[in-house]
Amino acid sequence: MLVFARQLLKDRHHTGAILPSSGRLAREMTRALHDHEGRRRVLEVGPGTGPFTKSILRSLRDGDEFHIVELSPLFCRQIERRLIEPFRKRRPGVKIVLHNDPIQTAEVPGAFDFIVCGLPFNNFPPDLVRAIFRRLIGLLAEDGRLTYFEYAGVRVLKSSISNEAVRRRLKQIGMTGLVLKRRHEGTRKLVLGNVPPAIAVSLTRRDVAGSERTG
């Protein structure tokens, strides 16, 4: 928790949350992984202090491959020391690679069966949001699943107290979500047990031909 607070003070824009996600949200974000049989390639983007990482690690089996992409060196050091190192000792048959890079340029070899994304999209410019989703969908295997989350009602709330430029930006981000939902099969699950309550959005890559465009 202290590490999260330190990073939040240092870089509020990219951290984008007041607290790490809850165990309940982590369960919802990683549910599909736990239900899946056979070998998997998994990517997590923006793990922070690792609430989703812990749940992903619990689901991994020998032969699986797990890539983690995190912008903050502080968060990288924390999850390397507290989660990855101990896991590697226990389960040497699982390949884990931590990339201290932004997802826009990180050299991650696709394709992934599961992508779990914890990025604070509502803080980003719409062009960046579209570029990141394009990259994530491009990294998915056919039938692969991308799960991300957003805080419930946050765009409506923020819009009601913001100026016209912010309202326009948030509207464009909302539109990107709608375009993705139309193009790929998806589900939305409200998780009240999180501060603030959040919606876990899952998309399955079906429309391979059209998936390079996210609006």
Q: For CA atoms 25, 125, 202, 108, give the dihedral sign.
A: negative
Q: Which of 54, 82, 102, 131 binds ligand SAM (CB under 6 A)?
A: 102
Residue 172: is it exposed, middle or buried by C-beta count within 10 angstroms (0-12/13-18/19+)?
middle
> Which of 94, 186, 104, 178 is CA-nearest to residue 145?
186
Q: How far apart are CA 102 and CA 117, in angstroms?
A: 12
Which window, 16-24, 80-88, 107-115, 170-178, contacts ligand SAM (CB under 6 A)? 16-24
Q: Which 20-59 positions form the footprint of ligand SAM (CB under 6 A)?
A: 20-21, 45-48, 51-52
Q: Which of 43, 60, 68, 69 binds ligand SAM (CB under 6 A)?
A: 69
Q: Which of 30, 55, 59, 72 binds ligand SAM (CB under 6 A)?
A: 72
Give the containing element (helix H, strand E) for 142: strand 140-151
Residue with structure tokens 């690690």? Answer: 57
Q: How far apart are CA 119 and CA 117, in angstroms?
A: 6
Closer residue to ligand SAM in complex, CB, 71/98 = 71
**Minimum CB separation from ligand SAM for residue 107, in Å?**
13
Using CB under 6 A as the criterion, what x/- string covers residues 158-177 for binding ligand SAM? --------------------
Closer residue to ligand SAM in complex, CB, 6/181 = 6
- Under the binding rule (CB under 6 A), the answer on residue 79 touching ligand SAM is no
Pairing of strands 95-99, 198-204: unpaired
Cα–Cα distance list, 177 to 39, 139, 201 (Å): 29, 18, 9
**Minimum CB separation from ligand SAM for residue 165, in Å?**
21
**Minimum CB separation from ligand SAM for residue 44, in Å?**
8
Q: Site residues (CB under 6 A) for ligand SAM?
A: 14-17, 20-21, 45-48, 51-52, 69-72, 75, 102-104, 118-120
